Amino acid sequence: MSTQHILLLPGDGIGPEVVAETKKIIDWFSSNGPVTFTTSEAHLGGVAYDECGTPFPAETLEAARKADAILLGAVGGPKWEPLDYSVRPERGLLGIRKELGLFANLRPAMCFEALADASSLKRELVSGLDIMIVRELTGGIYFGEPRGVKVENGKRIGYNTAVYHEDEVKRIARVAFDLAQKRNKKLCSVDKANVLEVTEMWREEVQKIGDAEYKNVALSHMYVDNAAMQLVRNPKQFDVIVTSNLFGDVLSDCAAMLTGSLGMLPSASLGEEVNGKRAALYEPVHGSAPDIAGQGIANPIATILSFAMMLRYSFSLGKQADMLEAAIADVLAQGYRTGDIITAGGKKVGTAEMGAAIIKSLDAQRKQEAA
């Protein structure tokens, strides 16, 4: 039996609570699967600043590089907003993405049947929804230079630069095309090519890759403003969407609400494969939710689903990932609901209760297989 090491970065706000429940799931699979998982913890974000004076300590980077995969809770909160921009919690998250070369962010938006009525859209628009948004993560306006705030003629001017190299576009396009080939062979590239030259180049490079290497994938292009509208008008027209850092950030949060709650959305951030190993960080799409931190009411499902993605993409344990996703679907079908996804007739539970219900369902699946 092989052993894989997972680095846990609980972070801030509700992060420690949802990671703690996911750790119980990790331990369950370690005891009931073909792989043994070991875990360790490190600081990232606001808690890291409080402990070490920096949101991204060198010790955390060292531990991240040694790990087989990383699970992050959340970072940030009002407590740290007065800090200088360079040491705010979010700089830790951006820093680890950059240092590990995590350029491909996979954000699935899947609506569990039991939650179709929890969406802000009509059931018929979201029932069966299964979208994968592929967001470029280490380029674009979040990292472009020059950037900053300056004073000219007594007036403040803020500026950021959107920059992409054609190689960055090509590598994220290939990730998206590969995923599309494994799904429904349909890819939509989202840009703003009518007004932004950087995304005009993006469109051209994605088209070149499609024409040369992925003739069996139906490629379409869409402006980002139209894509936002289409996501709420007819979301099931999409299968795989590939887009830039900024546009992906916005569109994936929009898609999250189609599923009922941000508390349901996982994500994976992947680097390039080197010597058979790919750096990978998994995290829920939601933030640190400081307003409910410490109350035991946060939804752990997005973090648990992030571990399911880890099983699938880092450890090639597709069967185990399916098993975990089935357990979550089962628990939701039984009516278990945290406050963010409560629907009429639902059984309102807290963080720990939801985690325990998922483990109970996993136990039931294991017994059924053994029968």
Active site residues per annotation = 142, 192, 225, 249, 253
Token output for 351: 């963080």
How far apart CA 43 and CA 9 sit, in angstroms, is 6
Count CA atoms closer than 13 A to 276's CA, side-chain side: 2
Surface-to-core class of residue 253, CB atoms within 10 Å of its CB (0-12 exposed, 13-18 middle, 19+ buried): middle
How far apart CA 44 and CA 50 sit, in angstroms, is 10
Share in percent of the chain as helix, strand, coil (round to 5): 50, 25, 30
Interacting residues of 173 by C-beta distance below 8 A, sequence separation 6+: 189, 205, 206, 209, 210, 242
Token output for 238: 């999409």
Identify the residue whose tokens are 């069966």: 128
What type of residue is 332? L
Helix 15-32 × helix 318-333 angle, to 10°: 120
How far apart CA 100 and CA 266 sit, in angstroms, is 19
First to last CA, the chain: 24
Long-range Cβ pairs for the range 291-295 (8 Å, 24+): 292/14, 293/12, 293/13, 293/14, 293/17, 293/77, 294/17
How many helices and strands (H and E) does the chain possess? 12, 14
Q: What number of other Cβ atoms are within 10 A of residue 144's Cβ? A: 15
